[in-house]
Chains A and B, each alone.
Chain A
Amino acid sequence: MLVWSEVLLRLAAGFIWLALVSNIFRVSSKSLQLTRMAHISSRCAWVTLTLSLLARTIALGHLTYHTLFDTLLLLSWVILSIYSYFEWKQGWPILGVVVFAALAATSTFSLTLERDIRPLLPILQSRLLIVHITLNFSAYGAFFLSFILGLMYLGQEYQLKKKKITPLYYILPGLETLEKFAHTLVSIGFPLLTMGIVFGSIYAKTAWDSFWHWEPKETWSLITWLVYAVYMHLRYVRGWRGKRAMILVLIGFGAVLFNYFGVSLNLATEHRFLR
């Protein structure tokens, strides 16, 4: 099973690169073949990645999330799944370029990572923990895409304010559509993150007999949660829209990134990855 997972992962990486290349060409030229190729390769990437994840889960007997490799795999899968929805709904080539560039980087990087399977400590074998991690990573995936849409928004907004037409003007979609989708994604990600944190603290209670320890990961999760909470509040109560709201979305994802890479890799925390 593990061999299969490895083979499928390499295949998925291949399809991701193919999708990246065809989307890059699709930005500058309108060709039906390229569009078809982009769509087929992104679907193939999703299927192979899903199967790879399944194979690894079956081989281990449970969802895997203990190494950086495993979390990257899970995160890539979440992002690709959400992207598939956009591809079906909107089909913006530029979004494909950005998403697949990120996925190509992570999938290629993850192939170099340590991923031996070691017996888990009894304390890490918990359903609550699986729910906690799944919820958090789903939220991260949604935040990632809202971040990309936010960047696209700011790019287009800059064009329209400067009144200078560059190729970006044609490539980027309309502002309100971008903002609407970014907002929807945050509206989905925020409750997921909230529930993820709640489940995490319930798990902490069962494992260490206390809901909250103020360790770096917890602190940064709270900061992330607060940024998105402020965004949701300002959007609903004060009618914050457009540029200012999108900048908040970017800051929120900055916190997510630091929380994911910065804290888990460097700071002393129970959330560190197994090495």
Chain B
Amino acid sequence: MHFLAVGLNHKTAPVEVREKLAFSGEKLASALNRILDLEQLTEAVILSTCNRTEVYVLCQGPAQEGLAQLKQFLQSFVDANIQVDKYLYTLIDLEVVHHLFRVVSSLDSMILGEAQILGQVKTAFHFALEHNTISTHLTKLFRQAIEVGKRIRTETEIGESAVSISYAAVELARKIFGELTGRTVLIIGAGEMSELAVKTLAAHGVSSVLVANRTFRRAQELAQAFNGRAVDYERLTENLALADIIISSTGAPHAVLTQDMVKKAMQLRRNRPLFLIDIAVPRDIEESIHHLDNVYLYNIDDLQNVVEANLAKREAQVGKAEIIIAEEVERFGQWWSARQMVPVIKALKSYGHNIKEQELARLFNKLPNLSERERECIASATNLMINKLLHSPVVSLKQLACDNRHDGQFYASLIERLFNLNLAAESETQVGRRVASPGPEEV
């Protein structure tokens, strides 16, 4: 039995290929079913996002055969002239576990530490659950993966600091004001960037938006879009006194805000801190304003520097995350090995049990005059013998399973050979195809 994964991502494949292999809704459901119709593949999950498509399966046969089937399956979605094989990476067993844990922790993402991937993995998992395409093994794998993702987000700072300009602006605003609830933002001019910044600020508690524009009508339009209020462009100083955060992005060739204006505004606002963000090129706000007490002026380059520092900070967390992942992969490996022992142990026990039953029947046939009590005593004595005999190998097998995977497998096959156990017949009854989804464990 093997865990297998085949996939491609933003690093290995161009968007033309990725888009062909994007699955969602109906297409996803039918793809999952098609995989399960393939030989020996018994569980399947497809993780499909704009940056990656990965197929996770449980394969009952040899790994290479399973992988070949999956590759062929993916090839069927792209044009014949595209050789999909060269974009794909293939993973087997614990490699699959390790990879999925890295993906869910966003170590494999385009933007390190981004939060969406955890949700996307959850969605892929729930989709498979709802469509009954997974059972014990992949359920366990994905549940643990989701836990790992959460654990890494809480125990490392990989997702902490802002890595986009607009978030960097919010982060700085927080470092200046602490709380952003109830603050006011004033936008001077308009542009895509300021729009984004205002939205992000609003999401973090900034409650009122003022809009100033050279043409009042345009200001009114914008104000409506932001659910704010248009103010008089000619009376900027007074409005500076009202707002805590200023975002300026006019197309003006000269400074829109001068040091004198801000000085006056600071008097009006009794020195409460003021945060100015200048995202216009050429700049709108006189650089010297930054030297006034309680005034902080950041331009687009400054924000970019903050973003870079934050990215470096995230990268510094990767090592810590990798340690957690290694730990979790080992934990999963132990579960899996113990799990692989289950058929051997079962077969061994029933082997002993069968011998006992046969011999007892024979004995009782030979000695028909035994009383009920004597029979019971003999039965329980033989029972004890078998149990005691098997106790130590069963315990050792379980321990070996947790100790080291390869060792465990070796001993399992040794037992299988020595006792001539027919494992294939055993597992046939256990692993049906399309097993019903497992019980309602907590995700």
* Contact A175–B155 (Cβ < 8 Å): no
Interface string of A218-256 (1 = CB under 8 A from B): 000000000000000000000111111000000000000
A262 within 8 A of B: no
Give Cα A165 to B174, complex, Å: 15
Which residues between 300 and 314 of chain B lie within 8 Å of chain A, taking CB atoms?
A: 302, 305-306, 309-310, 313
Cβ-defined contact, A174 with B178, below 8 A: yes
Given contact pairs A241-B271, A242-B293, A173 touches B155 in the complex (Cβ within 8 A)? no
Chain A residues in 8 Å Cβ range of B175: 156, 159-160, 169, 172-175
B309 touches A174 (CB 8 A): no
Residue of A nearest to B183 (CB): A176
| A-contact 0/1 string along B146-158, CB 8 Å cutoff | 0000000011110
Residues B174 and A174 in contact, CB atoms below 8 Å apart: yes
Bound complex: CA A163 to CA B421 (Å): 72
Asked whether A242 and B273 contact (CB < 8 A) given A163-B305, A169-B175, the answer is yes
B296 pairs with A161, CB closer than 8 A: yes
Contacting residues, chain A, for B306 (C-beta < 8 A): 165
Q: Are B320 and A180 neighbours in the complex by a CB distance under 8 Å?
A: no
Q: A177 and B154: CB pair below 8 A?
A: no
The answer to whether the Cβ of B272 comes within 8 Å of any Cβ in the partner chain is: yes
Q: Is the CB of B161 within 8 A of A170?
A: yes
Interface residues of B in 126-180 (CB under 8 A from A): 154-157, 160-161, 172, 174-179
Query: Among the listed B156, B296, B302, B313, which residue makes an inter-chain contact with A30, where contact means beta carbons less than 8 Å apart?
Result: B156
- Which residues of chain A (153-199) have a CB below 8 Å from chain B? 156, 159-161, 163, 165, 169-170, 172-178, 180
Given A165-B305, A175-B273, does the pair A241, B320 have CB atoms closer than 8 Å?
no
A31 interfacial contact with B, CB 8 Å: yes
- B204 near A: Cβ within 8 Å? no
Chain B residues near A30 (CB-CB < 8 A): 154-157, 160
In the complex, which residues 228-267 of chain B have their Cβ closer than 8 Å to any Cβ of chain A? Answer: none
- Contact A32/B155 with A161-B296, A174-B177, A178-B178 known, Cβ cut-off 8 Å: yes
Query: Which residue on chain B has the smallest CB distance to residue A31?
Result: B155
- Min CB–CB distance A160 → chain B (angstroms): 6
Cross-chain contact B177 with A176 (CB below 8 angstroms): yes
- Is there contact, CB below 8 Å, between A160 and B296? yes
Interface SS of chain A: helix
Contacts of A241 in B (CB 8 A): 270-273, 294
User: Is the CB–CB distance between A244 and B178 below 8 Å?
Assistant: no
Contact A176 B178, CB 8 Å, known A30-B155, A165-B306, A239-B270: yes
Contacts of B157 in A (CB 8 A): 30
- Asked if B154 contacts A160 (CB within 8 A), the reply is no
Set of chain B residues within 8 Å of A178, measured between Cβ atoms = 178
Looking across the interface, which residue of chain A has its beta carbon closest to that of B296?
A160
Known: A32-B155, A160-B172. A175 touches B178 (CB 8 A): yes
Q: Tell whether, in the assembled complex, residue B302 and residue A163 are in contact, meaning their CB atoms are under 8 Å apart.
A: yes
CA distance in complex: A180, B273 (Å)? 12
Task: Assess A244 versus B293: contact at CB under 8 Å? Given A160-B175, A169-B175, A174-B178.
Answer: yes
Q: Are A240 and B177 in touch, CB under 8 angstroms?
A: no
Q: Please tell me if B411 contacts chain A, counting CB pairs below 8 Å.
A: no
A242 contacts which chain B residues (CB < 8 A)?
271, 273, 293-294
Residues of A within 8 A of B154 (CB): 30, 32
Chain A residues near B298 (CB, 8 Å)? 163
- Contact B302 A165, beta carbon cutoff 8 Å: no
Contact indicator B293/A180 (Cβ below 8 Å): no
User: How distant is the Cα of A169 from the Cα of B179 in the complex, in angstroms?
Assistant: 16
A72 to B172, CA, bound (A): 39
Q: Establish whether residues A177 and B271, one from each chain, have CB atoms under 8 Å apart when the complex forms.
A: no
| Docked-complex contact B271 and A175, CB < 8 angstroms | no
Tell me the smallest distance from the CB of B262 to a CB of chain A, in Å. 15
Interface membership of A266, Cβ < 8 A: no
Question: Does A112 sit within 8 A of B, measured CB to CB?
Answer: no
Contact (A174, B305) CB under 8 Å given A31-B155, A239-B271, A244-B293: no
Q: Which residues of A contact B174 (CB under 8 A)?
A: 174
> Which residues from 24 to 41 on chain A have a C-beta closer than 8 Å to any C-beta of chain B?
29-32
- Asked if B305 and A160 sit within 8 Å, CB to CB, the answer is no
Closest chain-A Cβ to B244's Cβ sits at a distance in Å of 9
- With both chains docked as a complex, state the minimum distance between the C-beta of B6 and any C-beta of chain A, in angstroms: 35
Q: A160-B172, A160-B296 are in contact. List 6 more A-B contacts (CB 8 A).
A: A165-B306, A169-B175, A175-B273, A176-B178, A241-B294, A242-B293
Q: Which 4 A-B pairs have the closest CB atoms?
A: A177-B178, A174-B178, A239-B270, A165-B309
A sample of 10 inter-chain contacts (CB < 8 A) reads A159-B175, A165-B310, A170-B160, A173-B175, A174-B179, A176-B179, A177-B179, A180-B178, A239-B270, A241-B294
